[in-house]
Amino acid sequence: MSSACSVVRGVTVESWEIPIDTGEVPADGSDFDVVVVGGGPGGSAAAAYNALNGCKVLLIEKNVWPRDKVCGDAVGGKSLSHVEELGVLPMVQSTPYYQVDSILFGSASGAEVRVMLPKESYEEKGLMSGYSLPRVQFDYMMFKKATEIVKENGGAVIQGFTVKEILSETTGGVTAIKGVSGKFGGSRSESPILSFKSLVTIGAGGYNCPVSRKITEVHGEPHKDDDHFCGGYREYWEGVEGLEDPEGPIEIHFVDEVIPGYFWLFPVGDGVVNVGIGMLISEEKKGKRKGSWRGLRKTQKWLINEHPRFKDRFANSKMVEGSAKGWQLPFGSPRKNPPSHQPRRGAMAGAMTVGDAASLVDPFSGEGIGNALLSAKLTSKHFDKSLHSDGFTLEASEAYMEELWDVLGKELSNSKTLQKMMKWKRLTSWFINKANKKKEIGTLMSEMIASKDAQTELWNPWFLFKTLVLP
């Protein structure tokens, strides 16, 4: 992919290849109001929102920007208000991106339906209806803006520094997180261990975040669960037939070999398409036991080279070298009989987690950026440096987890039901076939994507009967 500084849509492109100057490293033992572990979208937003609240923040990232992140690269409507609120939208719009106007769903039987996104309702708010762009660009802009905001408010930012240990203290039977320690990697691998203290530590280190592991360990609760973790695999391709334009659909295909996960084709601008598959780890393991599942990468290779619906579209295309990578998605689906909080314990005295570290990825669509940003903003509502000048209490952490599930619980539970329904291949094919012929179903799907409230309609039996069964 090209990333040269140039003019796109009349605007000078901000390059995402120039290193970000994060300035001086704070001295060992420095105190902060908030330490954020991880500088992905969740961590960058948490650092920025808390700094805007007047907190002295330390944002720590183990990689050095620009850095890649395995993803489908689709940034949905939920993210847009935060991206705009933090002042990142103009930066994102000044880089090449793909304008998403619709979603094309394909069923196992080959039926397809293209659902248009309600562009007008977004445009009224001055926003785009949806877009996709490589995470190397999106995350760079988020981190760069967060660095500016954090530093303007007296905080500090460190890159290339891996948090290795979460510092805690137990008083009166309550264990509270007090800070973090870690060291620089790469050429600075001989660097000394540095520690930083804080009133609250925010874990934003993704699916294997050391803060979220510490939280579940201290409270003796499970961290990883194969029924709620998904394996994902991504490659970038150039020249995929039907997706050459700068605006159009993103494609989601429920093909036999991947159900209940899906195979996606998401253009990301500049003629490049993000191609990938995702599948629940428990399903993937079942397949392996039967000997029919040969790994996500192998399945994708077969879909591209041999599947009758896709092979011609890839006939003149080329994979971008070095783009083949896998990663995990921690779903926010409700757990059966959770020991304390849904979807998983995500906070304790002295700490909160956001985004993937809090296991908040939508179990149907695989979207996680929106919930990462939403939870990041919520941490700034629940932490107050005056109120919590003696530390962030266990009660405050409970209040955060409760509000998070109040806000997201309904849509995450609905998405889990949809995910389960996808196992019934005939039902999916019938639904997509029907949607192709019946306008109301297309409208319902479009509203479901734009508004999570509309998803509740799906569980209204009369509505379902009327829409699906009546001619």
Ligand X SMILES: Cc1cc2nc3c(=O)[nH]c(=O)nc-3n(C[C@H](O)[C@H](O)[C@H](O)COP(=O)(O)OP(=O)(O)OC[C@H]3O[C@@H](n4cnc5c(N)ncnc54)[C@H](O)[C@@H]3O)c2cc1C
Q: Does 42 bind ligand X (CB under 6 A)?
A: yes
Give yes or no for a contact between 239 and 316, defined as CB atoms under 8 angstroms apart: yes
Q: Of how many residues is the chain composed?
A: 471
The reply on whether position 332 binds ligand X by CB under 6 A is no
Helix (H, G, I), strand (E, B) or coil at 265: strand
Amino acid sitting at position 349: A
Closest of 41, 90, 87 to residue 61, by C-alpha: 41
CB nearer to ligand X: give 115 or 357. 357
* Tokens of residue 167, six digits: 């510092």
Q: Which helix (H) or strand (E) holds 305?
A: helix 296-306
Interface pick for ligand X out of 20, 34, 59, 70 (rule CB under 6 A): 70
Q: Are strands 229-238 and 98-106 parallel, antiparallel or unpaired?
A: unpaired
The residue with its CB nearest to ligand X is 368
Instruction: Give me the least distance between CB of 172 and ligand X, in Å please.
Output: 29
Q: Which of 155, 160, 205, 442 binds ligand X (CB under 6 A)?
A: 205
What gap in Å lies between CA 205 and CA 202, rounded to an integer? 9
Q: DSSP label at 452?
A: G
Cis peptide before 343 (omega within 30 of 0): yes
Pick the closer one to ligand X by CB: 34 or 441. Answer: 34
Least Å distance, CB 376 to ligand X, is 8
Q: Report helix angle 369-382 to 77-85, nearest 10.
A: 50
Q: How far is the CB of 205 from ligand X (least distance, A)?
A: 3
Residue 407, Cβ density class (10 Å: 0-12 exposed, 13-18 middle, ≥19 buried): middle
Q: Does 58 bind ligand X (CB under 6 A)?
A: no
User: Binding marks (x or -) toward ligand X, 148..167, rule CB under 6 A?
Assistant: --------------xx----
The answer to the question of residue 39 lying near ligand X (CB under 6 A) is yes
- Asked whether the beta carbons of 329 and 355 are under 8 A apart, the reply is no
The interface region with ligand X, picked from 34-42, 101-109, 251-259, 401-409 by CB under 6 A, is 34-42
Residue nearer to ligand X on the CB measure, 33 or 73: 73
Torsion 219-224-227-228 (CA) sign: positive
Task: Note whether 128 binds ligand X by CB under 6 A.
Answer: no
Rounded least distance, CB 42 to ligand X, Å: 3
Q: Are 160 and 60 in contact (CB under 8 A)?
A: no
Stretch that binds ligand X, among 67-75, 255-263, 301-309, 458-466 (CB under 6 A): 67-75
Contact between 43 and ligand X by CB under 6 A: the answer reads yes
Strands 112-116 and 98-106: antiparallel
CA–chain centroid gap for 170, Å, is 33
Examine residue 66 and tell whether it contacts ligand X (CB under 6 A): no
If the CB atoms of residues 63 and 415 are measured against ligand X, the closer one turns out to be 63
272 neighbors 110 (Cβ within 8 angstroms) = no
Out of 56, 62, 344, 345, the residue judged to bind ligand X by CB under 6 A: 62
Q: Which of 66, 276, 343, 350 binds ligand X (CB under 6 A)?
A: 276
Stretch that binds ligand X, among 57-65, 212-220, 338-346, 402-410 (CB under 6 A): 57-65
Query: Which of residues 204, 255, 265, 435 is near ligand X by CB under 6 A?
Result: 204
Counting beta carbons within 10 angstroms of the beta carbon of residue 59, is it exposed (0 to 12), middle (13 to 18) or buried (19 or more)?
buried
Distance of CA 314 to the CA centre of its chain: 27
Q: Show contacts with ligand X in window 308-327 (CB under 6 A).
A: 327
Nearer of residues 119 and 325 to ligand X, judged by Cβ: 325
Residues 6+ away with beta carbon under 8 Å from 295: none
Residues between 362 and 391 with contacts to ligand X, criterion CB under 6 A = 366-370, 372
Which span sits near ligand X by CB under 6 A: 4-12, 33-41, 47-55, 409-417? Answer: 33-41
The residues binding ligand X (CB under 6 A) are 37-43, 60-63, 69-74, 76, 162-163, 204-206, 209-210, 232, 234, 276, 278, 327, 329, 355-357, 361, 366-370, 372
